[in-house]
């Protein structure tokens, strides 16, 4: 793992100063990161897509496997419009778009979550697996079924949080502008 943190925050992202961020992490435009959320990039960089919400005590980890070392090409890419609710722990191999990880759920490192999935409150997924798209995982036995409706966008919640969080918390300033980073041809 690199010796120092490399946190890139795009414009319009709201990242609270009280969040715990370690490693090479990129927050795309529109992300909202609550205080006490933790993001750990041990195995490689983490790129969090646009308009994702990381609520309090959420942990997103890209951990090293035994005997492995940090690799800049080993990227954990998290899609757009995902919601990580209070107290969830997600170490998934890949995460698509418009997923909801409900409170206190655990998703292990061998799990791939495509798009439109809901992992229910308190669900524990330790076994390596690829969930089908639009899957809802629920109940004590982590039963799975196909969702009938597509997950809706969290635009209203993001807009509300973008207005309210700066009133009560110190924010990390956006420090990366993709328009300025492009080379002029």
pLDDT tens digits, one per residue of 32-88: 999 999 999 999 999 999 999 999 999 999 998 877 777 778 899 999 999 999 999
Pairing state of beta strands 14-16 and 171-172?
A: antiparallel
CATH class (in words) of the domain with range 6-184: mainly beta
Handedness of CA 135, 86, 20, 179 (dihedral sign): positive
**Can you tell me which residue has the tokens 């969830």?**
88
Q: What is the pTM of this model?
A: 0.89
Domain assignments of the chain as residue spans, ordered by start: 6-184
Q: How confident is the model at residue 148 (pLDDT cuts 50, 70, 90)?
A: confident
Q: Identify the three-state secondary structure at position 19.
A: coil
Q: What confidence score (pLDDT) does residue 180 get?
A: 66
Tell me phi and psi for residue 161, to 5 degrees: -65, -35
Q: What confidence score (pLDDT) does residue 135 get?
A: 95
> For the chain, what is the mean pLDDT?
90
Q: Going by C-beta distance under 8 Å and a sequence separation of 6 or more, which residues neighbour residue 115? A: 79, 96, 97, 98, 99, 133, 134
- Is residue 93's pLDDT more than 70? yes
Q: Identify the three-state secondary structure at position 175.
A: coil
- Is residue 1's pLDDT more than 70? no
Pairing state of beta strands 135-138 and 143-146?
A: antiparallel
**Can you tell me which residue has the tokens 């890419």?**
77
């Amino acid at each position: 793992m690199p010796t120092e943190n490399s946190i890139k925050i795009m414009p319009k992202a709201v990242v609270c100063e009280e969040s715990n961020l370690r490693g090479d992490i990129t927050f795309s435009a529109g992300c909202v990161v609550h205080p006490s959320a933790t993001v750990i990039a041990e195995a490689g960089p983490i790129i969090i897509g646009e308009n994702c919400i990381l609520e309090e005590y959420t942990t997103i980890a890209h951990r090293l496997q035994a005997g492995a070392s940090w690799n800049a090409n080993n990227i954990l890419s998290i899609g757009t419009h995902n919601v990580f609710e209070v107290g969830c722990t997600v170490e998934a191999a890949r995460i698509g778009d418009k997923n909801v990880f409900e409170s206190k759920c655990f998703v292990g490192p061998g799990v791939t979550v495509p798009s439109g999935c809901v992992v229910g409150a308190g669900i524990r997924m330790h076994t390596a697996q690829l969930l089908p798209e639009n899957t809802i995982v629920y109940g004590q036995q982590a039963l799975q079924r196909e969702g009938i409706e597509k997950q809706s966008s969290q635009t209203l919640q993001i807009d509300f949080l973008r207005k309210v969080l700066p009133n009560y918390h110190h924010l990390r300033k956006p420090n990366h502008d993709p328009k300025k980073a492009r080379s002029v041809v």
